[in-house]
């Protein structure tokens, strides 16, 4: 215990200068700026790098062999590893099921969010939801954009299906926009643009006695 900061950082510097992986220990975060700078300096010593032929070949082979639908699993693993916006997403994002018994699922909709111990949460009066405008609500740990269509409502997750970032509603574009990479979705969650993004996950919503409820947790 109590490794001195200069020894801690020199251990990492030494490792970097020998071309080894960055192996950090508990407490190293205290020197995060110095460590990140050390990595940059170590890289600068080598100059601009190119992929080795062996790595490039491996990559081509993997991509060629990669079935198009396996990305969900990898993504889930990656997102879980990132721990990004875990608090905001709660259990809903990663814990969704593949076939929901939900409502208001459009033809292009994503998976249905099935919160663990889900419960219907009142998010406002139907009259407060302008028709055709997605409005962001929070049902406990579940964030959603609710859209009114007459006397019924539908809802999609407020988290981008591609990167784990919270969307926002751009009324001028009439679209949900991901701030992390500028991708857009329609109010019903379908991807807009040239990229083949998965549709947004569907959040279950209903109208009861003039009040809008969302299945949250």
Region 152-191 residues binding other proteins, contact defined as CB under 8 A: 162-164, 168-171, 179-182
Give the nearer residue to other proteins in terms of CB position, either 102 or 164.
164
- How many residues of this chain bind other proteins (CB under 8 A)? 77
CA atoms within 13 Å, Cβ hemisphere of 42:
18
**Residues 199, 112: contact at Cβ < 8 Å?**
no
Is residue 95 a contact residue for other proteins (CB under 8 A)?
A: no
- 10 binds other proteins per the rule CB under 8 A: yes
Q: Report whether 166 contacts 158 (CB < 8 A).
A: yes
Give the integer Cα–Cα distance in Å for 184 and 91.
Answer: 24
Nearer to other proteins, 9 or 109 (CB): 9
**Smaller CB distance to other proteins: residue 3 or 149?**
3
Tell me whether residue 120 or residue 168 sits nearer to other proteins (CB atom): 168
Place of tokens 């751009």: 170
Site for other proteins in 18-47 (CB under 8 A): 19-22, 24, 26, 28-29, 31-47
Q: How far is the CB of 200 from other proteins (least distance, A)?
A: 14
Strand partners, 216: 119
Task: Annotate each residue in 111-140 with x if it binds other proteins (CB under 8 A) or - if it does not, as one string.
Answer: ------------------------xxx---
- Specify the residue, 81 or 150, whose C-beta has the smaller distance to other proteins: 81
Q: In what order do the strands lie in the sheet with 168-170?
A: 168-170, 175-177, 184-185, 191-192
- What minimum distance in Å lies between the beta carbon of 203 and other proteins? 16
What is the nearest approach in angstroms of other proteins to the Cβ of residue 151?
21
Asked if 194 is part of the footprint of other proteins (rule: CB under 8 A), the reply reads: yes
19: left (phi over 0), alpha (psi -120 to 50) or beta: left
| DSSP structural state of residue 53 | H
Please tell me whether residue 76 binds other proteins under the rule CB under 8 A.
no
* Longest CA–CA separation in the chain, Å: 68
Q: How far apart are the first and last CA of the chain?
A: 41
């Amino acid at each position: 215990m109590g490794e001195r900061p200069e020894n801690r950082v020199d251990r990492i510097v030494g490792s970097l200068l020998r071309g080894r992986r960055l192996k950090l220990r508990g407490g190293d975060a205290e020197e995060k700026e110095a460590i990140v700078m050390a990595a940059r300096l170590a890289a600068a010593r080598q100059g601009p790098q190119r992929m080795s032929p062996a790595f490039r070949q491996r990559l081509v082979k993997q991509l060629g062999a990669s079935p198009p639908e396996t990305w969900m699993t990898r993504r889930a693993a990656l997102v879980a590893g990132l721990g990004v916006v875990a608090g905001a997403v709660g259990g809903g994002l990663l814990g969704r099921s593949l076939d929901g018994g939900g409502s208001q699922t459009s033809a292009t909709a994503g998976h249905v969010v099935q919160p663990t111990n889900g419960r219907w949460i009142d998010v406002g009066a139907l009259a407060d939801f302008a028709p055709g405008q997605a409005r962001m609500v929070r049902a406990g740990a579940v964030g959603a954009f609710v859209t009114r269509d007459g006397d019924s409502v539908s809802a999609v997750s407020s988290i981008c299906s591609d990167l784990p970032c919270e969307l926002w509603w751009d009324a001028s574009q009439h679209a949900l926009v991901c701030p992390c990479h500028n991708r857009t979705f329609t109010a019903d969650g379908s991807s807009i643009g040239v990229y083949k993004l998965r549709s947004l996950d569907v959040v279950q919503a209903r109208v009861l006695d003039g009040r809008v409820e969302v299945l949250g947790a």
